[in-house]
């Protein structure tokens, strides 16, 4: 059995849904198809939630009406038979009535999650009507009945597996299952979600739970590219990556795959394939345990990084200093990306954080603190970079015009990371595209 996940743009137009229906019926293997909300919907739902929480009910009502109008015209194009249209209308009416009722009750965090869940519920139910109209037999698996997170927001893979197994066994006559990405239940049993972009995570959790033959992630680009196509002219798709390489790339800015979605696939050894809905014959990128080849494969960049420098002569020959510093970040649940040290100073990077002021305040007793905002981490990812000849000399030669603020090398065989001022990002990516890949 395999898992196929389609993102918002892959289901964002009626003709795209039609294309998805062709892709999921192209072979005979049984499958679970995971769908995102139609593109733009989750953003709209976030806005609706914000308007309600700030008591702007009229604005919320306007946003709800606008979104409903979008769905009304979507379904008219999606289905043909009057009976299918009636079904689709009833689904749209049900979910928008729900949103309208929410306007009347007092706002809570749990309610905002209910609002966010409407996107995936709508996309899957409407897709199901479309499949039915076209005589494609399937079963709509309710993600809220099997996808769950614990009190630390961590997915409960064993319970997910048990519940999913049971559901699949109850419908063992079916070979095609459709389900919602992103949404789940939390430890209190409320509707919750796996955070923005979380449908990829849903797909890989499901793939891990059923030990799928492959987890296919269908988007609108033909796999992971060697560099950011928005910044450099020429990029190429990467044929194969190891899980480690993919994790570094996904975390350090390659937007194509949600970073959390790597671990379930890696741990349960499920190959992941990144494919392009608009160009299904393209090879895409295969992510497996093996890297496929040696050397540098890709560059990714992550903006909005803050460097914090802590300088203290008390660090000299002292032990336990770093632990005390790290405890501050732990207390504020703020992940550290890069770290470099000298005997009397340590530099740490974090993503922009609402807790920055509090963190700095707690660090002050340890020494002189300097904070530099607007930085970018540029991550050079590949296989066995530690034994790739000339990698550092190539890097530094290519980047001689760029003021490099930090370097991290040796922590992983798969990554060299540089911290640079964000103003130099475009130039850095262009110089590296030339210096490392010989591309413009
Ligand atoms: N619809 C959700 C979002 O836009 C989840 C996803 O698309 O992966 O974040
Ligand atoms: Mg997505």
* pLDDT of amino acid 257: 87
Antiparallel, parallel or unpaired: β 240-242 and 415-421: unpaired
- The DSSP secondary structure of 207-226, one letter per residue, reads HHHTT-S-EEEEESSSS-BS
Query: What percent of the chain is predicted at pLDDT more than 90?
Result: 88
Q: What is the pLDDT of residue 319?
A: 84
Instruction: Record the tokens describing residue 174, joined without a space.
Output: 């079916």
From the CA of 199, give the closest atom in ligand 1: 8
Determine the atom of ligand 1 nearest the C-alpha atom of 198: 8
Report the pLDDT value the prediction gives residue 106, as an integer from 0 to 100: 85
Write down the pLDDT at residue 332: 95
Q: What is the pLDDT of residues 66-81, one digit of tens each?
A: 999 999 999 999 999 9
Q: Which contacts qualify for 244-247: CB closer than 8 Å, 24 or more apart?
A: 244/291, 244/412, 244/413, 244/414, 245/291, 245/297, 245/298, 245/381, 245/382, 245/383, 245/414, 246/272, 246/287
Pocket lining: 143 vs ligand 1, CB cutoff 6 Å: no
Mean pLDDT, to the nearest integer, of 145-160?
Answer: 97
Task: Tell me which residue of 125, 127, 131, 172 sits closest to 144, measured CA to CA.
Answer: 125
Span 18-38, pLDDT tens digits: 999 999 999 999 999 999 999
| Ligand 1 pocket residue status of 57, Cβ below 6 Å | no
pLDDT of residue 440: 86
Phi, psi (deg, nearest 5) at residue 139 = -130, 135
Angstrom CA distances, 174 to 44, 133, 137, 304, stand at: 34, 17, 7, 47
Q: CB within 8 A of 166, min separation 6: which ones?
A: none
| Predicted pLDDT at 111 | 94
State pLDDT tens for residues 292-350: 889 999 999 999 999 999 998 777 777 888 899 999 999 999 999 999 998 889 999 99
pLDDT for the residue 438 = 95
Please tell me the distance between residue 196's alpha carbon and the centre of ligand 1 in angstroms. 5
Pocket mutation for ligand 1, best pick of 43, 46, 119 (most atoms within 8 Å of C-beta): 119
DSSP character at residue 393: H
Q: Quick one: how far is CA 19 from the chain centroid?
A: 23
Q: In what order do the strands lie in the sheet with 406-412?
A: 336-341, 345-351, 295-311, 368-383, 415-421, 406-412
Kindly state the average pLDDT of the residues 377-406: 93
Ligand 1 centroid to Cα of residue 340, in Å, is 35
Q: Which ligand is nearest to the CA of 250?
A: 2
Q: What is the mean pLDDT of the chain?
A: 95
């Amino acid at each position: 059995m395999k898992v196929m996940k389609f993102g918002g743009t892959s289901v964002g137009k009626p003709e795209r849904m039609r294309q998805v229906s062709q892709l999921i019926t192209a072979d005979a293997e049984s499958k679970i198809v995971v769908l995102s909300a139609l593109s733009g919907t989750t953003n709209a739902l976030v806005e609706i939630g914000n308007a309600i929480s700030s008591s702007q009910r009229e604005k919320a009502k306007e946003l709800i009406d606008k979104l409903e109008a979008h769905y009304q015209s979507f379904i008219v194009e999606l289905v043909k038979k009057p009976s299918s249209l009636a079904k689709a209308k009833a689904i749209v009416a049900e979910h928008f009535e729900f949103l309208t009722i929410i306007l009347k009750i007092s706002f809570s965090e749990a309610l905002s999650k209910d609002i966010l869940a409407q996107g995936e519920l709508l996309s899957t139910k409407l897709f199901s009507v479309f499949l039915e109209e076209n005589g494609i037999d399937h079963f709509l698996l309710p993600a809220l009945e099997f996808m769950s997170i614990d009190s630390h927001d961590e997915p409960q893979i064993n319970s997910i597996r048990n519940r999913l197994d049971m559901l699949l066994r109850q419908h063992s006559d079916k070979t095609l299952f459709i389900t919602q990405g992103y949404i789940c239940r939390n430890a209190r049993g409320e509707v919750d979600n796996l955070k923005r972009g979380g449908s990829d995570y849903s797909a890989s959790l499901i793939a891990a739970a059923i030990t799928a033959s492959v987890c296919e992630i269908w988007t609108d680009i033909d796999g992971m590219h060697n560099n950011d196509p928005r910044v450099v002219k020429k990029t190429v798709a990467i044929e194969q990556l190891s899980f480690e390489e993919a994790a570094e790339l996904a975390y350090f800015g390659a937007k194509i795959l949600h970073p959390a979605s790597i671990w379930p696939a890696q741990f349960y050894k499920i190959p992941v394939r990144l494919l392009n809905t608009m160009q299904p014959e393209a090879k895409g990128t295969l992510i497996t345990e093996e890297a496929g080849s040696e050397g540098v494969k890709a560059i990714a960049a992550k903006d909005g990084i803050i460097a914090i420098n802590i300088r203290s002569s008390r660090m000299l020959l002292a032990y336990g200093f770093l632990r005390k510093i790290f405890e501050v970040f732990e207390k504020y649940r703020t992940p550290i990306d890069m770290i470099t040290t000298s005997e009397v100073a340590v530099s740490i990077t974090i993503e922009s954080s609402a807790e920055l002021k509090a963190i700095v305040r707690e660090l002050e007793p340890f020494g002189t603190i300097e904070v530099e905002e607007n930085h970018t981490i540029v991550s050079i990812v590949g296989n066995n970079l530690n034994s790739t000849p000339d990698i550092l000399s190539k890097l530094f030669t290519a980047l001689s015009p760029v003021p490099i603020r930090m370097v991290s090398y040796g922590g992983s065989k798969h990554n060299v990371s540089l911290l640079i001022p964000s103003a130099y990002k475009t130039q850095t990516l262009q110089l590296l595209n030339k210096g490392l890949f010989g591309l413009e």
